[in-house]
Structure 1
């Protein structure tokens, strides 16, 4: 991911093996990472059991909040692909009990369709 993309909030895919080294001790028995995406220092990771949001805080990023969302809590989601003049695609996820969605921007050439397929596999 380029520095400018990070500043603009665009997400890029992260290697699963790298994620396993970073958060492997947070996974439960039988849980496997399907895919993950990074926006600056923050990540959102799809496992076969949940969506895991990783929020690194502070100047050093040593303080980290891990937010686990069971797929059954996701009420609906939307994916907006980039057009001819759009610079990014957008993912929005609504959770039960909340009015505002979780939103992430993806670079125009990011695999947004794969993200949609992953969500559909576990949510539907």
Structure 2
């Protein structure tokens, strides 16, 4: 669960305090980062109030898009694990007001269960 996992598309749990500092300008007063997972260069950040998806763009990853999803707006979510021939796992999150789900792909099942458990904990 380190840099190699993140580069291969495996979700690697990231230090929540480090992400708290990195996102300090975006967080509401009293909002705390509970869990954070790195998938390739992107982040899934579970705070006490919302899910933040960080999409790092460009060659250096300096340009970023932050998508904030209040937990109350998550209508449903699903997890598709790997099979014998299909080696990609996937999480889909349906957000109120959008017809298409937000989809995140993982290279294997290694940490997808942790991400799904975090979604269950915060969105239900």
**2:15 is the alignment partner of 1:34:** no
Q: Is the 8 A contact 1:12 1:106 kept in 2?
A: no
Q: What runs of 5+ residues in structure 1 fail to find an aligned partner? A: none
Match in the other structure for 2:4: 2
Deviation larger for 50-59 or 66-75: 50-59
Q: CA deviation at 1:52?
A: 0.4
In the alignment, the residues of structure 1 paired with residue 54 and residue 101 of structure 2 have an alpha-carbon distance, to the nearest angstrom, of 17
**2:118 is the alignment partner of 1:121:** no
Q: Is the 8 A contact 1:89 1:106 kept in 2?
A: yes
Q: What runs of 5+ residues in structure 2 fail to find an aligned partner? A: none
What is the number of equivalent residue pairs in this alignment? 122
Match in the other structure for 1:89: 89
Q: CA deviation at 1:93?
A: 0.4
Query: What's the Cα RMSD here?
Result: 2.3
Shift in CA distance, 34/110, structure 1 to aligned 2, threshold 3 Å: farther
Give 1 or 2: higher strand fraction: 1
Taking structure 2 as the reference length, the TM-score comes to 0.80
Q: Is the 8 A contact 1:94 1:100 kept in 2?
A: yes
